Structure 1
């Protein structure tokens, strides 16, 4: 049975996951410089150790309410191989953990929904993230590669 490593993060009080091999690093929120006339999903740019990094607001792409509390927000910086060589980070409300998930704990999404919703599957994880003992979290495993491919198509 295959085991998949994912980063679990939170947006709008819902747990999401992305493949660990897409994440280069996780950094604390820092001031973001807005870019004039940028699409609404582009929050702006940051200077991350001398590299200009484009910051994407995932809430806007997924049509989720935005968090007003930026204190706990983090930026997940993606590996350049996943972004066509660009430096891209995504804003999330909080990062919880990196977990290993057995393939049998993932329910695939219906094809009619998954392409539109950017969802690879639903991870059923018993964890201490949920309040209470023995509770199972449902974690939405997002297809970040599909999101980035769609964003790239919009630009061209």
Structure 2
């Protein structure tokens, strides 16, 4: 029997992506981000969210897509990865969907310019909608998590 997976749907460069709901802590509007020196370009800095300092990554930059200006729809999705909370800047976050596990296929080598290692699969939704599911552990690979944990100290 196919399992149902609840995912938060967000967009990046006109593509739809999904993150499992249980990995998402909160979705926030854009807020002031404090730059942190000597970090990769896609690490935009840190935000203070209700007294907690959270590193923020621009997912467009992380995936090697062209970064764009933030808009009224831009959001920061706060996700929990291992013991760490990280914010992902996305173009918009607009939906929660139930995806059946049997509708998920292995990702091709590159989807929308994003390498397969960052993706856990591609879900077919309805007739002509595809949802790209993120592989969170790889998006925040171990070395980068170590770098990010050093911000929190």
TM bin (shorter chain): 0.7 to 0.9
Say whether residues 1:144 and 2:145 are aligned partners: no
SS in structure 2 of the partner of residue 24 of structure 1: strand
**Whole-angstrom distance in 1 between the partners of 2:61 and 2:146:** 15
How many residue pairs match? The answer is 144
Q: Is the 8 A contact 2:11 2:92 kept in 1?
A: yes
For residues 29 and 6 of structure 1, the distance between their equivalents in structure 2, rounded to whole angstroms, comes to: 21
- Structure 2 unaligned residues grouped into runs of 5+: none
Matched, 1:121 2:121: yes
Matched, 1:11 2:15: no
Verify the 8 A CA contact 1:8 1:96 in the aligned structure 2: yes
Secondary structure of the residue aligned to 1:31 is coil
> In structure 2, what is the equivalent of residue 76 of structure 1?
77
Partner of 1:132: none
**In structure 1, what is the Cα distance between the partners aligned to 2:118 and 2:138?**
7
Q: How does 1:103-118 map to 2 (within 5 A)?
A: 103-109=101-107, 116-118=116-118
Q: 1:73 to 1:116 in 2, by over 3 A?
A: same
Q: How far apart, CA to CA, are the structure 2 residues paired with 1:54 and 1:65?
A: 21
Indicate the residue corresponding to 1:129 in structure 2.
none
The verdict on how the C-alpha distance between 1:85 and 1:150 changes in structure 2, with shifts beyond 3 A counting, is closer
Q: Which has the higher strand share?
A: 2
TM-score (norm 1): 0.81
Equivalence for 2:58: 57
3-state SS in 2 of match to 1:72: coil
Judge conservation of contact 1:29–1:75 (CA < 8 Å) in 2. Answer: yes
